Amino acid sequence: MAYSLKESVAKEARFVSGHRMCAGCGAPPAIRNVLNALKEEDNAVISCATGCLEVSSCIYPYTSWNKVSFIHTAFECAAATLSGAEKTYYNLKKAGKIKKTTKFIAIGGDGGTLDIGLQSLSGAMERGHDITYVCYDNGAYMNTGTQRSSSTPHFADTTTSPAGKVSPGKAQKRKDLTEIMVKHNIPYVAQTALFGNLQDIYTKSEKAIYTEGPTFLAVFSPCPRG
């Protein structure tokens, strides 16, 4: 379907206000725009890695996840958790226990995706689950206070790769996860950023969510604290 800004903003948001993310954080609008690509009649299960987004969007007894079901288990296993839910969907559907079409979306930051969650992500992608993994990448472990990740750019000054008298900052170059995902031979891999072009994130999200099989979407996103 051709993209229409007017139609997309008229849809009911699946990620709503009331969360406790920082003012100026890129993650909430990024995720709201990714989920905006869901068809209104479709259900979705969101599996979220531990991180800012999780601890700020689902503080008991509140949730910012609207008209989707949400699960958080731990830091490194958003993809594995989702793969269990996705496989179970087929049996419940076959048994007639559920009727709606459900889409499966995992979300992690760069720490939960490029580093500690890489094995879980790689495994889920290789097994061919019909899921979309969305990495909102702000280039460091921002939740714990701007420590370096493998997505942190070369020479960046972080709290665990500080620039000092003898070090210019992070000594290593950035890991290219998008390229690693391409090498998994999955049907769709994309990267985008939220700002300046809402059509781009919408169309890539739509393609990622509605392409059969495992798909990966990197969304570059700023952190006001890093």
Partner 1 sequence: MAIRERLSGNEAVATAMKQINPDTVAAYPITPSTEVPQYFSNFVANGDVKTEFIAVESEHSAMSACIGASAAGGRVMSATSSQGLAYMFEMLYVAAGLRLPITLICGNRALSAPLNIHNDHSDSMGVRDAGFIQLYCENNQEAYDNTIMAVKIAEKANLPVMVCYDGFITSHSVENIMLLETEEVQKFVGERKPTQYLLDDERNISMGPMDLQKYYFEHRKQLADAMRGAKTIIEEVSEEFYKLTGRKYELFENYKMDDADLGIVVLNSTAGTAKDAVDELRRNGIKAGLIKPRTFRPLPYKEIPEKLKNLKALAILDKCDSVNGYAAPLFTELTSAMYSSGLTVPTVDYIYGLGGVDVKVDDIIQIYKKLNEIAKTGNVEKTTYYLGMEN
Residues near partner 1, by CB under 8 A? 43, 45, 47, 54-55, 58-61, 63, 65-74, 76-77, 80-92, 94, 97-100, 102, 119-120, 122-124, 126-127
Cβ contact 19:56 at 8 Å: yes
How distant, in Å, are the alpha carbons of 151, 167, 175 from that of 158? 12, 12, 16
Using the minimum distance from each CB to partner 1, give the nearer residue, 72 or 170: 72
Using the minimum distance from each CB to partner 1, give the nearer residue, 113 or 161: 113
| Nearest distance in Å: CB 175, partner 1 | 19
Rounded Cα gap, residues 54 and 70, in angstroms:
10
Using the minimum distance from each CB to partner 1, give the nearer residue, 106 or 201: 106
| Nearest distance in Å: CB 146, partner 1 | 20
For helices 78-94 and 118-127, the axis angle rounded to 10 degrees is 30
| Nearest distance in Å: CB 74, partner 1 | 6
The string over 144-175, giving b where at least 16 C-beta atoms fall within 10 Å of a residue's C-beta and e elsewhere, is eebbbbbbbeeebbbeebeeeeeeebbeeebb
Using the minimum distance from each CB to partner 1, give the nearer residue, 66 or 203: 66
Using the minimum distance from each CB to partner 1, give the nearer residue, 69 or 199: 69
What are 18's two structure tokens?
A: 């009331």
Closest-CA residue to 125 (of 72, 201, 181): 181
| Nearest distance in Å: CB 75, partner 1 | 9
| Nearest distance in Å: CB 93, partner 1 | 8
For residue 128, count CB atoms less than 10 angstroms from its CB and return exposed for 0-12, middle for 13-18, buried for 19 or more. middle
Using the minimum distance from each CB to partner 1, give the nearer residue, 71 or 193: 71
Rounded Cα gap, residues 77 and 120, in angstroms:
6
What are 163's two structure tokens?
A: 């620039």
| Nearest distance in Å: CB 77, partner 1 | 4
